[in-house]
Amino acid sequence: MYTKAEIINILKDDSQNEALFLKADKIRYENVGDEIHLRGLIEFSNICSSSCKYCGLRTANKNVQRYKMSPDEIIQCAKNAADIGYKTIVLQSGEDKFFTREILCKIISEIKKLDVALTLSIGERSKDDYRAFKDAGADRYLIRIETTDENLYTKMHPNMDFKNRLNCLYNLKELGYETGTGCLVGLPGQTIESLANDILFFKNLEADMVGIGPFIPHPNTPLKDTPKGDFTLALKVMSLVRILLKDINIPATTAMETIWPNGRILALQAGANVIMPNVTKFEYKKKYEIYPGKISKDACYDGNLNNQLLLEKKDIEEKIKSIGRIISNTKGFRKNH
Ligand code: SAH
Kindly state if the Cβ of 252 falls inside 6 Å of ligand 1.
no
Residue 280 has pLDDT above 60, yes or no: yes
CA-based nearest residue to 202, from 161, 241, 153: 241
Out of 47, 124, 231, 290, mutate this one to test ligand 1's pocket (max ligand atoms within 8 Å of CB): namely 290
From atom 25 of ligand 1, which residue's Cα is the shortest distance away? 215
The rounded Å distance from CA 108 to ligand 1 centre is: 22
Distance CA 268, CA 22 (A): 11
Supply the mean pLDDT for the chain.
96
Q: Using one digit for the tens of pLDDT, what is the confidence trace for 23-36?
A: 999 999 999 999 99
Q: Using one digit for the tens of pLDDT, what is the confidence trace for 159-174?
A: 999 999 999 999 999 9
Out of 41, 42, 45, 54, mutate this one to test ligand 1's pocket (max ligand atoms within 8 Å of CB): namely 54
Q: Using one digit for the tens of pLDDT, what is the confidence trace for 111-122?
A: 999 999 999 999
Kindly state if the Cβ of 121 falls inside 6 Å of ligand 1.
yes
Answer yes or no: are the C-beta atoms of 42 and 92 closer than 8 Å. yes
pTM of the model: 0.97
Burial 182-192 (b: 16+ CB within 10 A, else e): bbbbbbbebee
Q: Report the atom number in ligand 1 closest to the C-alpha of 217.
A: 22
